[in-house]
Amino acid sequence: MKISDILSILDAQLLTEGAGLEREVHTACGSDMMSDVLAFVKDQSVLITGLNNPQVVRTADMMDMICIVFVRGKKPDAGILALAEERGMAILCTDHTMFTACGLLYAHGLRGGVH
Amino acid sequence: MAEPIRLDYVVPGDDFTRAGEASADLKSRLKSLGFPPAAIRRAAIALYEGEINLAIHAGGGRITVALTPERIEMALDDEGPGIPDIALAMSEGYSTAPDEVRSLGFGAGMGLPNMKKYTDEFSIASTVGEGTHIRMAVLTAG
């Protein structure tokens, strides 16, 4: 699917500018623990998280992810958004919980990476 | 043979939001120098975990990177409290991080194990009350 598909599936809001929404994403990871995200190098493109701090963007950057979805309506501050925009990442915000957001994306074909 | 390219970073101990700046800088430099993407990612993740540790546990520290076409060498030195039991600290899931750190998304006890996992060479020496010294290398052909 594309980042633009995630936007509509999760009824999400796009918070960054300039990130290409037509980029394809195939795999995702959902976690609030950044060390767990860093523990598995898989070619994942999307991070779904309820954690709201700059280390979320830095972690996603280390993993070459291109899209972060903040769940439960959490809105990152301007500093976090600037960090993401510098890296060409799309930041999305949805009111869905982590469980529901992951379930909706899975139902539409997005998968976890292979260990 | 050409001299290694050397990079020096200081990790502040009082600003968790800045932890990761050194690894982000290393990552972009390695990209522009044309290192292989897999080696770049492994080195950047290992250094990032190290930076987080310096910020969380050690009150900051120094990072020295030496680059040759074959090797990405990273040295992390701090004058923090030291690690009493290195074998225990190296086991996955063991953490002494306070709840405050966990609420920031770290402290799952994966930092040191991840650093070892992503590098080809890893050594750690620590003295309680004096500090910790980590040497890591990623081989670009590895």
Domain count, chain B: 1
**Partner residue opposite A55 with nearest CB, options B27, B105, B114:** B105
Chain B nearest-CA distance from A22, in A, is 23
Could you tell me the residue range of the domain that residue A67 belongs to?
Answer: 3-112
Tokens of A94: 């949805």
Q: What is the mean pLDDT of chain A?
A: 93
Look-up of token digits 């890893």: B122
Q: Is the pLDDT of residue A115 over 60?
A: no
Can you list the residues of chain B whose pLDDT is less than 50? none
Q: What domain count does chain A have?
A: 1
pLDDT score for B62: 98
Q: Report d(CA B118, CA B104) in Å as an integer.
A: 23
Instruction: Give phi and psi for A3, each to the nearest 5.
Output: -60, -35
Q: What CATH number does residue A93 fall under?
A: 3.40.1390.20
What pLDDT shows up at residue B74?
98
Tokens for B78? 């701090």
Cβ-based contacts of B24 with chain A (< 8 Å): 58, 61-62
Are residues B114 and A39, on separate chains, in Cβ contact within 8 Å?
yes
How far apart CA B62 and CA B30 sit, in angstroms, is: 19
Q: Given the DSSP bridges, would you call strands B60-67 and A67-70 parallel, antiparallel or unpaired?
A: unpaired
Q: For residues A99, A103, A106 and A108, what is the CA-based torsion angle, rounded to 10 degrees?
A: -140
Report the CATH number at residue B94. Answer: 3.30.565.10
With an 8 Å Cβ cutoff, is B73 touching chain A?
no
pLDDT category, A41, cuts 50, 70, 90?
Answer: low
Q: How many CA atoms lie within 13 A of A89 on its CB side?
A: 27
Reported ipTM: the value is 0.85
**Mean pLDDT of the region A19-26:** 91
> Which domain range does residue B130 map to?
5-139
Task: Tell me chain B's radius of gyration from C-alpha atoms.
Answer: 15
Residue B42 touches partner A, C-beta closer than 8 Å = yes
- Given a contact cutoff of 8 angstroms between Cβ atoms, the answer to whether B104 and A80 are in contact is no
